[in-house]
């Protein structure tokens, strides 16, 4: 126990104390801020920069239901780049730039899941800055697709 206190005592001894010659704490007021400086802060806090507008949209893709018709993992592609492998009951949230985004789903070719040749059907989604869009993976006769989820669900 005594050994663990020695480094702390040495650290405290090395810290400079903000006191005047009479031993009282220094009460010098802070320098006035210039008109070009950031928002003035209260004493003891960091200045807060101006808030920047949100420059991305959030896309949430989930496999929370059994609508996929497969127990295999599903790969999610955004703009033809694989971004995630979703397992059953999996979910991912992506921050994406606003604009038109191409999304594609494919059964993962791993383990016992060899999908063979699948049509690589892509969906297009228009995202707006600051919005949150949620989709659920579903299955139809033509393959896997993303079904929009209403905001009330």
State the pLDDT at residue 99.
94
- pTM to 2 decimals? 0.60
Strand order across the 74-78 sheet: 81-86, 74-78, 99-107, 122-127
**Is residue 78 a contact partner of residue 96, using CB atoms and an 8 Å limit?**
yes
What domains are defined for the chain? 57-148 (2.60.40)
- Give per-residue pLDDT as tens, 68-94: 677 888 899 999 999 999 988 899 999
């Amino acid at each position: 126990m005594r050994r663990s206190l020695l480094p702390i005592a040495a650290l405290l001894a090395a810290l400079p104390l903000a006191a005047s010659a009479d031993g009282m704490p220094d009460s010098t007021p802070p320098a006035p801020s210039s008109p070009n400086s950031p928002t003035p802060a209260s004493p003891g806090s960091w200045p807060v920069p101006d808030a920047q507008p949100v420059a991305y949209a959030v896309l949430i893709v989930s496999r929370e239901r059994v609508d996929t018709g497969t127990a295999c993992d599903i790969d999610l592609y955004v703009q033809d780049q694989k971004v995630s492998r979703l397992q059953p009951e999996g979910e991912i949230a992506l921050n994406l730039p606003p604009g038109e985004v191409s999304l594609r789903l494919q059964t993962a070719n791993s383990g016992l899941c060899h999908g063979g040749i699948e049509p690589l059907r892509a969906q297009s989604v228009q995202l707006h800055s600051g919005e949150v869009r949620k989709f659920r993976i579903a299955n139809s006769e033509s393959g896997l697709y993303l079904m929009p989820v209403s905001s009330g669900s």
